Structure 1
Amino acid sequence: MIEVGALRALRSVAALGTLARAADELGFTASAVSQQIKRLERQVGVPVLAPAGRGVVLTPAGQAIADSAPEVFQALERCAEAAQSASEGVPRGTLRVVAFSTAIRGLLAPVLSRAAYPQLRVEVTEQDPGEALRSVGAGTADFALVHDADGLLPAPLPPSLARRWVHTDVGDVVMSRTHPLAGLEAPLDETALAEHAWVTSPPGTVCHQWFRRLFADEPDVRHRVDDFATQLSLVASGQVVALIPRLARPPLGETLLARPLRRPPKREVHAVWRRSAEASPAIRALLSELEPAGAKVDG
């Protein structure tokens, strides 16, 4: 009989292309993953991997096994969830959550601080949305928070996953109370913003994309910093302003203030989980804590 661990190893290698990357995702050594693959080959009697440059590819037999793997994992997960649901629906065990950093700060941390489920252990790992979707799909995480990057989810959502909208994040301009912009009437427009110096997130980030869309011409960018707390320390100097998502914003204190934009950038935040885990009391509990009024399951 094929072992579940070996099946999971093959699926990860198929998705990532090398034993080393699969090992990183699964939390094993490359040697351990290689041994699982060899054990699988002994069990089925045929090779399942073939070398391809510096990586590997699946043989036709390996591809056939990998294609059947989701049905196996979903059936096993439904068995576990049925057992949990039968136990009065009490959230218990370990829930592995992956999310982008500002969702951890602004959404998960407040929920975890007030939720009281003594039999449930929640483990949170920071991952970008694309990686988070892959982790949930592969079964190395149970629940994810992802953002749509101004209208597009980071990857098409496969049929095996479900999602639910939980939050809309908005960007505001943050400035020192002594800055000239602080005296203008809100909401602010692009004309008023273009005359001032900025600290921004580095190119390639969602927040930098938000920033560049504000201006037709090249703005005066003095600093490029990924950490929002560091951005705010530079804003406190009174020389620059910053575009900060509300989820990423700590309390501004007495020296800083936030002003809304006339056309504010937005991103939608979704919770994602496997449909086979739909009955999980732990997932339902976390969704209930995160769920705003009127949220609906997306197909």
Structure 2
Amino acid sequence: MIDVAALQALRSVAALGTLARAAEELGFTASAVSQQIKRLEKQVGVPVLAPAGRGVVLTPAGQAVVDSAPEVFQALERCAEAAQSVADGEPRGVVRVVAFSTGIRGLVAPALTELGRNCPELALQVTEQDPDQALYSVDAGTADLALVHDADGLPAPMSASLRRRHVHTDTGDVVMPQGHPLAQLSGPDRPLTVEDLTGQAWVTSPPGTVCHQWFRRLFAQASEEPDVRHLVDDFATQLSLVAAGGVIALIPRLARPPVPPGLVVRPLLRPPSREVHAAWRRSADTSPAIQALVAALSR
């Protein structure tokens, strides 16, 4: 393994041009710096400096080592910051978040406002991933926290090295034009029943999606098959087709874009739902950054 002090010595020599000037900057003797460089050369297996007049220059291998040094020192700084964060209880640093698309829209994006206000030294790096891949990324260490939803009522399988916490229950509502007969049923807060929905024309998500499973489950006990006119995955497009008239839509609250004027949203008596969980490595249980993020996602 490369000695960090020797790597720092080489970087100083590269910047200042001589062992003596590097020694002065680092607070060592020139002999001590020379020994550090020799130790580094032994560790990497090739010379990293070559004489040049009264000074020295980097060999190509030495230049490659110096070019890589910033990443090493940045990683060490992040490590120190993380340790200090745990020690003083202050959320800071970068949390790598992987989450499904509508979870980013409905939970992560709103949480950014709160975190920016309450945790100014904490930053999120967000990547869209499906639940299975997201859990794998956290378990493999390429992400710090996953936001996942259950599949057809069953939680996604999870490694024993991970911990999960429920942060949200997502449910579906029916969107329709203001003048639609269902919109006139005894007030905007009256939940709609499956009987109310029988005989209506629909736009819904394509087969294979969670929202199509919701739709099929909603009509599982219905006396007749629903009249599906359109299969569209994008919810903004679904709203456009609803606004055009002739169909209504079942849309999850997390996924619902701003509802255009002229459309209304009505709740269901027994709405389909999915549970949303945050998952992280058990080794990060004491991380103030993870704790702050999970708290913000749970609001």
Query: What is the TM-score of this pair, normalised by structure 2?
Result: 0.67
Question: In structure 1, the residue corresponding to 2:105 is in which secondary structure?
Answer: helix
Corresponding residue for 2:35?
A: none
CA contact (8 A) 1:162 1:273 kept: yes
CA contact (8 A) 1:172 1:261 kept: yes
Matches of 1:272 and 1:265, distance apart in 2: 23
Describe the shift of the 1:103–1:122 C-alpha distance in structure 2 as closer, same or farther (beyond 3 A): same
CA contact (8 A) 2:114 2:296 kept: no
Q: Which sits farther off after the overlay, 224-233 or 109-118?
A: 109-118
Moved beyond 4 Å, runs of 4+: 77-81
Describe the shift of the 1:273–1:108 C-alpha distance in structure 2 as closer, same or farther (beyond 3 A): same
CA contact (8 A) 1:102 1:247 kept: yes
Question: Shift of residue 97 of structure 1?
Answer: 0.4
One-letter amino acid of the counterpart of residue 160, structure 1: S
Matches of 2:79 and 2:295, distance apart in 1: 21
Matches of 1:213 and 1:247, distance apart in 2: 19
Describe the shift of the 1:284–1:89 C-alpha distance in structure 2 as closer, same or farther (beyond 3 A): same
One-letter amino acid of the counterpart of residue 238, structure 1: G
CA contact (8 A) 2:170 2:273 kept: yes
Root mean square deviation, CA, Å: 2.0
Corresponding residue for 2:265?
A: 258
Match of 2:283 among 276, 282, 286: 276
After superposition, what is the alpha-carbon deviation per residue over 1:121-153, rounded to whole angstroms, capped at 9, x for unaligned? 211111111111111111111001111134211
CA contact (8 A) 1:166 1:269 kept: yes
After TM superposition, list the pairs within 5 Å mapping 1:20-39 onto structure 2: none
Alignment of 1:169 with 2:170, yes or no, is yes
Corresponding residue for 1:99?
A: 99
One-letter amino acid of the counterpart of residue 161, structure 1: L
One-letter amino acid of the counterpart of residue 227, structure 1: D
Identity, % of aligned positions: 66
Alignment of 1:152 with 2:159, yes or no, is no
CA contact (8 A) 2:81 2:93 kept: no
Question: Shift of residue 245 of structure 1?
Answer: 0.6
Corresponding residue for 1:143?
A: 145
Corresponding residue for 1:55?
A: none
Describe the shift of the 1:162–1:78 C-alpha distance in structure 2 as closer, same or farther (beyond 3 A): farther
Question: In structure 2, the residue corresponding to 1:213 is in which secondary structure?
Answer: helix
Matches of 1:180 and 1:122, distance apart in 2: 45
Corresponding residue for 2:112?
A: 112
Matches of 1:127 and 1:80, distance apart in 2: 27
Question: Shift of residue 261 of structure 1?
Answer: 1.2
Corresponding residue for 1:290?
A: 297
CA contact (8 A) 2:202 2:228 kept: yes
Query: Unaligned regions of 5+ residues in structure 2, if any?
Result: 2-77
Query: Unaligned regions of 5+ residues in structure 1, if any?
Result: 2-76, 293-299
Matches of 1:81 and 1:114, distance apart in 2: 21
Question: Shift of residue 284 of structure 1?
Answer: 1.2
Rg comparison, structure with higher value: 2
Question: Shift of residue 81 of structure 1?
Answer: 4.8
CA contact (8 A) 2:152 2:213 kept: no
Query: What is the TM-score of this pair, normalised by structure 1?
Result: 0.67
